[in-house]
Amino acid sequence: MAAARPALPSSPTSLLLARSISAPDLATLLVTAGAYSLVRAFDALTERRLVQQSLSRKVVHVLSGVFFMASWPLFSNSTGARFFAAVVPFLNCARLLTYGLGFYSDEALVKSVTREGKREELLRGPLYYVIVLLIIVLVFWRDSPIGIISLSMMSGGDGFADIVGRRFGSLKLPFNDKKSWVGSAAMFISGFLLSALMLSYFSWLGYIQVSWDQAIGKLVLVALAATAVECIPVTDVVDDNISVPLATMLVAFLLFGNTAH
Ligand SMILES: C/C(=C\COP(=O)(O)O)CCC[C@H](C)CCC[C@H](C)CCCC(C)C
Ligand SMILES: Nc1ccn([C@@H]2O[C@H](COP(=O)(O)OP(=O)(O)O)[C@@H](O)[C@H]2O)c(=O)n1
């Protein structure tokens, strides 16, 4: 059952704007602008050396997924709303391909979302990330816990694993010297908490119903599975931005099905 879409503000300007473009177009425009602004903001912070480039990348990694998911209620209740939402990751896919392949240059984008400042990096982690966003919106959208949990694990879990592990992860994993116990713990805790938070958010808005007496235990198992996949040494073969959401989708599907009970 879908909740009533929050009404647009009733000021004359916003009513005029709302009349000139339909609500789904307005949401698409707003969220697309938000994505562009997020990258630009971290470019400015990196440029001014207020944020390290490696931290900038990870914060953009966390915030873009979380803010994108949080924006989903802005889109209408129409059956086609997910396609309007999908325009945002689609445009960012095109952007990453355009600049990653060198057709045009965008130093701001490269500096805020790559490790070493090379445009080719846009075609790996960032591109996989945005493709996964596109798939989650089209396949699962806001009325399935699977997409919500998968996006939470990829953006929040994997993001904080890096942020915390890079800074405090001196004690490495015995089977993967590139990853640490602290980083994996951060992955589990942040992925679990963000998933629970976002499930509450969409449940509160009426898009899903959650039976917390069962959901908490299932969420622990999903977070454990995602953490296990993130820490095994397959990053050279499969990027975390592919392996973590795929593993989460599988386990969440097995445990939750398509409802959050
Ligand atoms: C830096 C990113 C991924 C790299 O991950 P990793 O390899 O370090 O693990 C994220 C790239 C984000 C992309 C440039 C912009 C995506 C925007 C998103 C589709 C919509 C966000 C909207 C919201 C309102 C800010
Ligand atoms: N479980 C983890 C994950 C990352 N990390 C730290 O974060 C750094 C980057 O992690 P990563 O290779 O997963 O980064 P991305 O591939 O997600 O960009 C690692 O080199 C570690 O220093 C960690 O200590 N423990």
Residue 246 vs residues 117, 135, 139, 243: alpha-carbon distances, Å: 28, 11, 13, 5
Looking at the CA of 187, which ligand is closest?
2
Q: What does the mean pLDDT of the chain come to?
A: 90
Kindly report, residue by residue over 119-148, the tens digit of the pLDDT.
999 999 999 999 999 999 999 999 999 999
- Residue 172 backbone dihedrals phi, psi, to 5 degrees: -80, 160
Total domains, the chain: 2
> Does residue 16 sit within a domain?
no
Determine the Cα–Cα distance for residues 91 and 87; give it in Å rounded to an integer: 6
**Are 149 and 248 found together in one domain?**
yes
Determine the Cα–Cα distance for residues 131 and 238; give it in Å rounded to an integer: 14
> Does residue 9 sit within a domain?
no
Looking at the CA of 41, which ligand is closest?
1
**Are 149 and 104 found together in one domain?**
no
**Are 131 and 206 found together in one domain?**
no
Please name the helix (run of DSSP H) or strand (run of DSSP E) that holds residue 134, with its range, or none.
helix 125-139
**260 pLDDT tier (thresholds 50, 70, 90):** low
Is 173's pLDDT higher than 70? yes
Task: Return the bridge partners of 173, or none.
Answer: 176
Domain boundary among 139, 165, 190: 139
Query: How far, in Å, is the centroid of ligand 1 from the Cα of 155?
Result: 8
Amino acid making up residue 168 = F
Pocket of ligand 2 (CB under 6 A): 125, 158, 161-162, 165-166, 169, 178-180, 183-184, 187, 230-231, 235, 240
Determine the Cα–Cα distance for residues 253 and 98; give it in Å rounded to an integer: 34
**Are 165 and 240 found together in one domain?**
yes
**Are 157 and 213 found together in one domain?**
yes
> Does residue 2 sit within a domain?
no
**Are 145 and 135 found together in one domain?**
no
**Are 185 and 243 found together in one domain?**
yes
Domain boundary among 118, 139, 160: 139
> Does residue 11 sit within a domain?
no
Domain that holds residue 119: 23-139
Q: Which residue has the tokens 């990096």?
A: 121
Question: How high is the pLDDT of residue 62?
Answer: 97
CA-nearest residue, atom 19 of ligand 1: 89
Kindly report, residue by residue over 197-244, the tens digit of the pLDDT.
999 999 999 999 999 999 999 999 999 999 999 999 876 789 999 999
Kindly report, residue by residue over 20-62, the tens digit of the pLDDT.
455 668 999 999 999 999 999 999 998 898 998 889 999 999 9
Residue 232 vs residues 41, 173, 238, 239: alpha-carbon distances, Å: 33, 9, 11, 11
Domain boundary among 106, 139, 172: 139
**5 pLDDT tier (thresholds 50, 70, 90):** very low
Kindly report, residue by residue over 53-70, the tens digit of the pLDDT.
889 999 999 999 999 999
Query: How far, in Å, is the centroid of ligand 1 from the Cα of 104?
Result: 19
Please name the helix (run of DSSP H) or strand (run of DSSP E) that holds residue 251, with its range, or none.
helix 240-256
What is the value of ipTM here, to two decimals? 0.96
Question: How high is the pLDDT of residue 24?
Answer: 62
Rg (CA), the chain: 19
User: Do strands 172-173 and 176-180 pair parallel, antiparallel, or not at all (unpaired)?
Assistant: antiparallel
> Does residue 10 sit within a domain?
no
Nearest to 159 by CA among 209, 194, 123: 194
> Does residue 5 sit within a domain?
no
